Amino acid sequence: MDEQPKEFCHQQGSLEAVHGRWAPVEARVATLREDIRRACASRLPGENHNRANERQVEEFIARLREDFPGRIYEFVRARDAKAGEVFAHGWEDARCREDSPCVVIERQRLSPWALRTTRWNYVFTVPGENRESFVLVAHYDTWRGPGADDNTTGEEILKQYLLADLNGEKRPRLTHTYFLAGSEECGLVGLLSQLLLAAGIIVGIQALQQEQWWRLAVALALCPLASYRFGVSGSREYVRALRAEELDCIRAVVSVDSVGEGRLFIPRSTLGADLIRALIPYGNYDAFTDLLEEGAHLHGIKYNNYLAGGTTDHLSFLEINNGLWTRVRESFRWALHWVSRRPYRAPRRIPASALVAMSPGKASPVVFGGKIHTPRDVPERVHAQPLQEALLITDYVFHILEGSPRVRKPRKLDEFHYVRLYEIQGGQKQRFEYWLVFKDAIEPNRRNLNAVYQAAVEFDEAKKQGTARLGEILGWGVDTRLRDEVAEICAAQGKTFRRVRLDQLTVTSDGTSIRFARLLTVADSLQRHLLRTMAWAERQMGGYSLLTFFAIAYLISWAVGKGLSLGFRHWFAFQSWFFHYQAVTFPLVLLFQLMLLLYLMVRAIPTWIDNHYRHENRADNMGSLRRLSGSSPFAQG
C-alpha cells in the first residue's frame, strides 16, 4: 500500500476537530469550482473583466442582504470625521449583538493614485467574541483575462468562509475579516517582470563599470518598480487608512492568490519584497509561517518557500511600521529609552504570509502553456487538488488562531526515521529527565515533521548503547534541525539541554520496538558540514535575492569582459572583426549576458534557494541516529 494515503488515513481521526466545523472538503471544492465557472461566465456584453468583477461583488452583497436580513451593516470608509463617527457607532452595534452572527461590510473607494484595475476595496468583518482579528485577503481584480485562477479562486474561498460564519449557530471566538482587495494587479508578472528586472540590472552593471553613478542610481531605483511596486496598491491604501486601534487588533494575515493550478507555495521570501528586506529587514515572522507549514505537513501537502516572481497582498501588512522613516525614528526612541533606563516597546508589526500555487510557465504569458494575465486563465484550468490543499491549510490556521489545541500525536512511532536523545535539566522543579526527538523525513517533498517525547532511558556506557521507553509527548513542530525543536520547547519551560551521543538506541512503545544507530563515517562528517554551509548560502540568497542577482550579473559581465580581452590580445583578426561590426557585436554581447542572467533568475537561482531545506535537512539527518535498514517494528515477547 502507498505510504502517503496510509499516513493521511492515520491522521484523519486526529484532524476531525480541525475540519469538523465546515462541510466535507471534497464538497467545498466542488462548490468552489462551480462558483468559479459561474463567475467567469457572467460577464455582460461589452463589459470589461474588472467592471464585471465589481458588479459581481455588489451582487454578492445583495444576496447577503436577502439571505441574512437584519444582520448586514454597510458603510463607506471615508476620512472625514462625521463618516468615522457613523462607522464607529455602527460597528459597536454589530459588536454588541449576541444572537446570530452578523457582518460589517465596508466599501473603500481607491484614490486615483492607487487605481489600477478595480476601483473599490471590500471588507467583510464578522465580529467575534474577541476583538482580535484574523484577516484573510484575496484580490478580486484580473488582468487581460477572465482570471479564473488569478484570482477568482481566492475570492470564492473567502466568500465560502464568510458564508460558513454567517450560517453558524454562534459568532466565532476570533473576529474574522475577509478582505477583497482591489487593484492588486499591475500587469508585470512572471517572465515579463523578470525580463525588465534583468535588463535594469544589466544597465546598472554597465553604469558601474563605466563609473556613471547617476545611471547606476536610476537603474537600481527602477529595478524594484519592475518587480512589484506598481502592484498591491489597493491593499496598501486600505492599510494606510486603518487607525492605530484597528492595527492593534490584527493578529495575523493570510493572502490566498492563484491556488487553482500547480504546486503550493508558502513563501518565506519573495523577489517582490527583496529590496525593502535588503535595506530594512522585516524581522522574524517565521513562527506564523510555521503555522501554515504545520497544516501542510499534517496533510502530506508538498510546498515550496521561495517565489521568484512578484508578491501578493500580504506584503501590504508586512510593511506596517517597517518603513525607512519608522526604522530611523524607532532607533532614536530606543537609544533615548536606553540612556534613560526606561523600558522600550517596539511598534506593532503584523505577521503575514500567503498561499500561492505555481507550476512551470504558469505565470509567464510569453511562454507556451502560461496562463496568468491571458485569456487562457479559464475555469477548465482550475483543479481540485490545489484548492483542497489551500482549504485544508486555511482550516488549520483558523483552528489554531482561535485557541483550539494542536493535534496531539501527528505521527506513529513506526513513521519516524531519525532520532536524537537529549538530557534536560531545570524548570520549576529543577528535575533531571531525558527527551527523545524524532523526525519522519519521508514525505515526498523531503520536508519533515518532528515530535518530542519524554523517555525512560537505560545506558550501556561502555558500548554507547541504550534502550528507551517512550513516555508523554511534549510537543511537535516543523523545524529543519531537531536541535531547534528542543531549544524552542526548553526556552518556553525555562530548561537547559545537552545532547547525549550514542551509537545505538532501541526505542519501545506500547509493545512496539524500533532500532536506531549512528551511521556516520569521516567522509559523511565532511559532507555534512559542506551541506550545512551550502544551506546557509542558499538561505542568504533567498533573503537577499535582488543583491544576489546583481552580484551574479556583475560576475557574468566580468567574465565576458575577461574573455573578450583574452581574445583581443591573442587574435588580432577577432578584435578587428568585433569592432568592425560593433553595431551588431555589442548588442549581441549584452543580449547574451541578459539571457544568461534571465535563465539564472528564472530557473537556477530559485532552485538553489529552495534547495536550502533539502541540504539543511540532509545534514541534520546525517548527524542523527538513523533507523536501521530492515528494522521494522516488532512486538515484544
Is residue 527 one of the residues assigned to a domain? Answer: yes
* pTM of this structure: 0.84
DSSP string, 279-323: HS-----HHHHHHHHHHHHHTT--EEEEESS---THHHHHTTT-S
CA distance 1 to 388: 23
Across 129-145, b (16+ Cβ under 10 Å) vs e yields eeebbbbbbbbbbbbeb
Task: Please state the rounded mean pLDDT for residues 576-601.
Answer: 89
Q: Which ranges of 189-251 does DSSP label H, i.e. alpha helix?
A: 190-209, 213-224, 233-241, 244-249
Residues 490 and 584 in one domain: no
Domain with residue 119: its CATH number is 3.40.630.10
Nearest to 577 by CA among 592, 593, 588: 588
Q: Does 509 lie in the same domain as 372?
A: no
Same structural domain, 69 and 115: yes
Which is more confidently placed, 129 or 209? 129
Residue 254 falls within a domain, yes or no? yes
CB 393 within 8 Å of CB 292: yes
pLDDT at 636: 39
pLDDT at 444: 52
Mean pLDDT in residue range 306-324: 77
Residue 297 has pLDDT above 90, yes or no: no
Q: Is residue 343 part of a domain?
A: no
* Nearby residues of 34 by Cβ (< 8 Å), 6 or more positions away: none
My answer on whether 298 and 425 are in the same domain is no
pLDDT at 278: 44
- Which residue, 185, 143, 438, 160, is CA-closest to 311? 185
The tally of domains found in the chain comes to 4
Q: Is the pLDDT of residue 171 over 70?
A: yes
> Which of 56, 612, 40, 149 is closest to 390 using CA atoms?
149
Residues 6 or more apart in contact with residue 187 via CB below 8 angstroms: 143, 144, 230, 373
Say which range, 67-76, 204-213, 484-493, 576-585, has the weakest mean pLDDT: 204-213
pLDDT of residue 84: 57
- pLDDT tens digits for range 350-397: 889 999 998 877 876 666 667 888 899 999 999 999 999 999 999 999
What grid cell was written down for 379?
Answer: 475555469
**Same domain assignment for residues 61 and 202:** no
Position with higher pLDDT, 625 vs 408:
625
Identify which of 216-220, 329-333, 402-406, 553-557 has the greatest average pLDDT.
Answer: 553-557
In this structure, the number of other CB atoms found within 10 A of the CB of residue 457 comes to 18
| Structure confidence at residue 390 (pLDDT) | 97
- Give the rounded percent of residues in the chain with a pLDDT score beyond 70: 86
> What residues contact 322, with CB distance under 8 A and at least 6 apart?
276, 280, 282, 283, 349
Residue 284 falls within a domain, yes or no?
yes
- Residue 568 in 3-state DSSP? helix
Same domain, 196 and 247: no
How would residue 230 be classed by pLDDT, with cut points 50, 70 and 90? Answer: low
Polymer length in residues for the chain:
637
Residue 7 has pLDDT above 60, yes or no: no
Q: What are phi and psi of 492, to 5 degrees?
A: -70, -30
pLDDT at residue number 279: 45
Q: Are residues 146 and 38 in contact, defined by beta-carbon separation less than 8 angstroms?
A: no
Check: CB of residue 450 under 8 Å from CB of residue 478: yes
What single DSSP character describes residue 138? Answer: E
Residue 223 pLDDT greater than 70, yes or no: no
CA gap 221, 200 in Å, rounded = 9
Query: What average pLDDT does this structure show over 285-301?
Result: 83
Higher pLDDT, 243 or 224: 243
Residue that is last in its domain, among 229, 245, 261: 229
* Whether residue 569 sits in one domain with residue 495: no
Residue type, 13: G
Q: How confident is the model at residue 572 (pLDDT cuts 50, 70, 90)?
A: confident
Across residues 536-562, what is the average pLDDT? 86
Residue 274 clears pLDDT 60, i.e. is over it? no
In a domain, 331, yes or no: no
Q: How far apart are CA 150 and CA 148, in angstroms?
A: 6
Which of 622, 485, 547 is closest to 278 using CA atoms?
Answer: 547
Whether residue 241 is predicted with pLDDT greater than 80 in this model: the reply is yes
For 439, residues 6+ apart whose C-beta sits below 8 A from its C-beta are: 416, 417, 418, 419, 448, 449, 450, 482, 620, 621, 624
Distances (CA, A) of 526 to 215, 257, 365, 522: 46, 42, 45, 6
Q: Is 468 found in the same domain as 603? A: no
Tell me which residue of 239, 240, 234, 318 sits closest to 273, measured CA to CA: 318
What's the pLDDT band for 12 if we cut at 50, 70, 90?
very low
pLDDT at 139: 96
Q: Are 215 and 161 in contact (CB under 8 A)?
A: no
* Whole-number Å distance between alpha carbons of 549 and 179: 34
Mean pLDDT of 569-574: 88
Q: Tell me, yes or no, whether 462 and 493 share the same domain.
A: yes
Domain range enclosing 530:
522-622
Average pLDDT, the chain: 84
pLDDT band (50, 70, 90) for residue 11: very low
pLDDT of residue 310: 63
Helices (H) and strands (E) in the chain, counts: 21, 18
The SS3 assignment for 184 reads: coil
For the segment 610-624, what is each residue's pLDDT rounded down to a tens digit? Answer: 888 889 999 999 999
- pLDDT recorded at residue 368: 60
State how far the Cα of 575 lies from the Cα of 577, in Å rounded to an integer: 5
The answer to whether residue 364 is domain-embedded is yes
pLDDT for position 635: 42
At 26, list the grid cell: 471534497
C-alpha cell at 504: 545505538
Residues 299, 393, single domain; the answer is yes
Amino acid at site 343: P
Please give the average per-residue pLDDT across 266-283, as a whole number. Answer: 56
121 vs 75: CA distance, rounded Å:
12
Alpha-carbon dihedral 325, 331, 336, 341, rounded to 10 degrees: 140
pLDDT at residue 9, as a whole number: 39
Query: pLDDT at residue 447 above 50?
Result: yes
For residue 151, say if its preceding peptide bond is cis, omega within 30 degrees of 0: yes
Residue 271 has pLDDT above 70, yes or no: no
* C-alpha span between 388 and 415 (Å, rounded): 24
Strand ranges in 38-102 using DSSP code E only, listed in sequence order: 72-76
**If we measure between CA atoms, which residue out of 251, 279, 272 comes closest to residue 175?**
251
Q: Are 353 and 254 in contact (CB under 8 A)?
A: yes
Is the per-residue pLDDT at 10 higher than 90?
no
Range 209-232 average pLDDT? 71
Q: Give the pLDDT confidence score for residue 606 in this predicted structure.
A: 82
> 531 vs 407, which has greater pLDDT?
531
Q: How far is 95 from 89, CA to CA, in rounded Å?
A: 10
- Of all residues in the chain, the percent with pLDDT exceeding 90 is 40
Nearest to 115 by CA among 23, 33, 181: 181
Label residue 281 by pLDDT band (50, 70, 90). very low
| In the predicted structure, residue 224 carries a pLDDT above the cut 70 | no
Please tell me the distance from the alpha carbon of residue 502 to that of residue 461, in angstroms, as a whole number: 9
Do the domain assignments include residue 441? yes
- pLDDT at residue 443, rounded to an integer: 54
End-to-end CA distance of the chain: 27
Residue entry with cell 518532528: 450
pLDDT for the residue numbered 2 = 33
**148 touches 181 (CB < 8 A):** no
Least confident of 126-130, 266-270, 405-409, 499-503: 266-270
Residues 529, 515 within the same domain: no
Residue 430: pLDDT over 80: no
Q: Is the pLDDT of residue 270 over 80?
A: no
pLDDT of residue 446 exceeding 80, the answer is no
The whole-number pLDDT of residue 13 equals 44
Tell me, yes or no, whether 97 and 33 share the same domain: yes
Residue 423's pLDDT is what? 92
Between the ranges 25-34, 114-123, 276-285, where is the mean pLDDT highest? 25-34
pLDDT, mean of residues 499-508: 91
Residue 332 is assigned to a structural domain of this protein: no
Say yes or no to pLDDT of 282 above 90: no
Residue with cell 526604522: 327
